[in-house]
């Protein structure tokens, strides 16, 4: 039950609190049959590590992928976004399938789907079909991750007893989530060899996860339960349509009926999903009743607005570094390392603040610092200098680090009437949908502003306005490569880039300012949400057991 005078979470701020207890010894047997807790936890962390790393690793390789396969800028964003969108749309469904068909079975199935799709992404042929190939199999990757992640979490909650479960989940989220930082660095190293290796690297990780899962002898309890297929269809269609409209607005135009038809149609489907879920008599896909707790609603809102900036940042910062700053993939990875330096250090501070004072202080401080950091970072983008930017990059990372773990932990601790799987399904769906929306919206803004600025530059140099705009549009599509017109096959674009290269790089930096200011606005909205947090602290050994725990 809720205790408003107790502590609020694990010291890392990454998982729910538990009373002090003796650490599980290696090889300890959990409550779920003869499962080996240590091996089971290690197996699940190896499995979900792939899903975290894949959220950031592709961003570093984006220019090389675009260059070799001849993708458009919009197409490259879809390669990144299709993974996030499929993960968000299928996450709750993956949790229900794990309850029905067994956690171990669904986790292994998700791992196999994920790694096979990864291999196929790395084997994409350099042909006209490449863009469609990449988008399809990146979406399959996301679907595999959506099967794997909730099942892996359910395994951890099943094999650990209540008194040890909080620490196990703190380690599960802390270590696995921390691997997000490895994505850019690993991407830079592998891209120096071949960008295809960023997908192939998942194979050995998946093999280790599967072997450890088998050795852990995790029991698999399948049950005959209702699967909410209408709910799964409504949430997937709603998310897909809304993101499609936002992403394609740069091509279709904001005045297009298709753009607004997709956006409004998607939002209506999401509203229909919420209405339907509230009326389902038993076993809905998502139990929306947890939003009755105001603190849980605030935590989820803060995570949503925070993710509008956090995940899209890696794509836009990486491309900016390689285009405007003329950096290699490895150097772009080091650029992002400044962000993670602030992120990692502040995450520890956020966890301690959560323990001592509750979630409200770190949420307020984190969102305020992140808002200031992104706004100041945006102002320095046109300096085209690492030295001018790095303090604000660190500040931005610190702000995100302060808010992310406390919001995630507090949301789980607050939802005492639901299982870990249910509340995690809601928060992860919100986080990944926000990331997909952010990438779509900022990508549209970036393309639009880049075209306008490059058009003005070319027209000022004597090119007729209509021709300048056509060339600017082609440059905007190719600039997500290496910024020199390679891969476009258009001599006029290459010539224009060669003659106005420095000016175009500055235009691209100015266009990115709009993106980063947009991220600052999203974090300011997160700050306003954090003001509504009740501020009371909670202590809960675990949420009331749900199907995943039982």
pLDDT at 438: 92
**Structure-token pair, residue 266:** 């998607």
Mapped onto helix, strand or coil, the DSSP state of residue 402 is: helix
Burial 115-135 (b: 16+ CB within 10 A, else e): bbbbebbbebeeeeebbebbb
Please report the pLDDT score of residue 69 as a whole number: 86
Quick check: 170 and 19 in contact, CB under 8 A?
Answer: no
Spell out the domains of the chain, with CATH numbers in brackets: 37-243+257-265+289-452+507-530 (1.20.1250.20)
Closest Cα to residue 100, out of 257, 226, 254, 236?
226
Q: How many Cβ atoms from other residues are within 10 Å of residue 6's Cβ?
A: 12
Give residue 505's pLDDT.
Answer: 84
Query: How many Å is the maximal CA-CA distance in the chain?
Result: 77
**Helix (H, G, I), strand (E, B), or coil: what is residue 425?**
helix
Distance CA 80, CA 327 (A): 21
For residue 229, how many other CB atoms are within 10 A of its CB? 11
Nearest in space to 159 (alpha carbons), one of 169, 150, 149 = 169
What is the rounded CA–CA span in Å between residue 385 and residue 422?
45
pTM of the model: 0.80
For 213, half-sphere exposure in the C-beta direction (CA atoms, 13 angstrom radius) is 28
Give every CB contact of residue 473 below 8 A, 6+ residues apart in sequence. Answer: 451
Q: Is 29 in a helix, a strand, or coil? A: strand
Of 469, 470, 499, 473, which is closest to residue 484 (Cα–Cα)?
Answer: 499
Contacts of residue 260, Cβ cutoff 8 Å, sequence gap at least 6: 245
Beta bridge partners of 29: 36
Q: Give the integer Cα–Cα distance in Å for 518 and 513.
A: 8
Residue 261: partners with Cβ closer than 8 Å, 6 or more residues away: 245
Helix (H, G, I), strand (E, B) or coil at 36: strand
123-175 pLDDT per residue, tens: 998 877 888 999 999 999 999 999 998 888 888 877 877 667 667 776 776 67
Around Cβ 528, how many Cβ atoms within 10 Å?
12
Cα angle 424, 286, 152 (rounded to 5 degrees) comes to 40
Q: What is the pLDDT of residue 231?
A: 87
Q: List, for the chain, all residue ranges whose pLDDT scores fall below the cut of 70.
A: 1-35, 162-163, 165-166, 170, 173-174, 176-181, 415-422, 478-501, 537-550
Residue with tokens 């997909």: 436
Q: For position 23, what pLDDT does the model report?
A: 40
The answer to whether the CB of 360 falls within 8 A of the CB of 530 is yes
2 CB contacts (<8 Å, ≥6 apart)?
A: 414, 416, 538, 539, 540
Residue closest to 160 by CA, chosen among 39, 244, 249: 39
């Amino acid at each position: 039950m809720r205790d408003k005078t107790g502590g609020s979470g694990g010291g890392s701020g990454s998982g729910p609190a538990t009373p002090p207890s003796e650490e599980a010894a290696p090889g300890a047997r959990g409550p779920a049959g003869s499962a080996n807790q240590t091996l089971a936890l290690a197996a699940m962390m190896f499995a979900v590590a792939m899903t975290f790393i894949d959220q950031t690793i592709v961003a570093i390789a984006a220019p090389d992928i675009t260059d070799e396969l001849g993708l458009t800028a919009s197409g490259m964003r879809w390669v990144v976004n299709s993974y996030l969108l499929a993960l968000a749309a299928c996450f709750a469904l993956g949790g229900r399938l794990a309850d029905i068909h067994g956690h171990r079975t669904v986790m292994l199935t998700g791992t196999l789907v994920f790694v096979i799709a990864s291999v196929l992404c790395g084997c994409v042929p350099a042909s006209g079909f490449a863009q469609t190939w990449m988008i399809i199999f990146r979406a399959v990757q996301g679907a595999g991750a959506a099967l794997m992640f909730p099942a892996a979490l359910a395994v951890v909650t099943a094999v650990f007893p209540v008194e040890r479960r909080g620490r196990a989940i703190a380690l599960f989220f802390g270590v696995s989530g921390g691997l997000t930082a490895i994505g850019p660095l690993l991407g830079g190293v592998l891209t120096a060899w071949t960008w295809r290796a960023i997908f192939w690297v998942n194979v050995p990780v998946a093999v280790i996860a599967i072997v450890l899962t088998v050795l852990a002898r995790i029991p698999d309890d399948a049950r005959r339960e209702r699967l909410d297929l209408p709910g799964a269809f409504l949430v997937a269609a709603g998310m897909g349509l809304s993101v499609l409209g936002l992403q394609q607005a740069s091509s279709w135009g904001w005045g297009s009926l298709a753009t607004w038809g997709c956006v409004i149609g998607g939002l209506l489907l999401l509203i229909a999903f919420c209405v339907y879920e509230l009326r389902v008599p038993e076993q809905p896909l998502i139990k929306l009743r947890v939003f009755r707790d105001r603190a849980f609603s605030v935590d989820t809102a803060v995570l949503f607005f925070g993710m509008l900036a956090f995940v899209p940042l890696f794509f836009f910062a990486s491309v900016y570094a390689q285009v405007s700053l003329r950096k290699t993939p490895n150097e772009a990875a080091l650029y992002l390392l400044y962000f993670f330096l602030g992120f990692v250090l502040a995450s520890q501070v956020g966890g301690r603040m959560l323990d001592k004072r509750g979630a409200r202080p770190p949420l307020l401080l984190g969102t305020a610092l992140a808002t200031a950091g992104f706004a100041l970072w945006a102002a320095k983008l046109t300096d085209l200098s690492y030295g001018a930017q790095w303090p604000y990059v660190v500040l931005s990372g610190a702000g995100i680090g302060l808010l992310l773990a406390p919001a995630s932990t507090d949301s789980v601790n607050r939802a005492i009437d639901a299982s870990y799987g249910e509340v995690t399904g809601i928060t992860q769906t919100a986080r990944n949908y926000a990331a997909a929306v952010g990438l779509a919206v900022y990508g549209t803004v970036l393309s639009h502003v880049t075209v306008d600025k490059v058009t003005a530059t070319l027209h000022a140099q004597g090119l007729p306005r209509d021709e300048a705009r056509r060339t600017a549009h082609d440059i905007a599509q190719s600039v997500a490569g290496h910024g020199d017109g390679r891969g476009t096959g258009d001599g006029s674009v290459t010539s224009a880039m060669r003659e106005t290269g420095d000016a175009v790089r500055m235009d691209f930096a100015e266009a990115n300012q709009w993106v980063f200011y947009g991220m600052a606005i999203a974090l300011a909205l997160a700050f306003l949400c954090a003001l509504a947090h009740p501020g009371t602290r909670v202590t809960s050994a675990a949420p009331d057991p749900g199907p995943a725990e039982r």
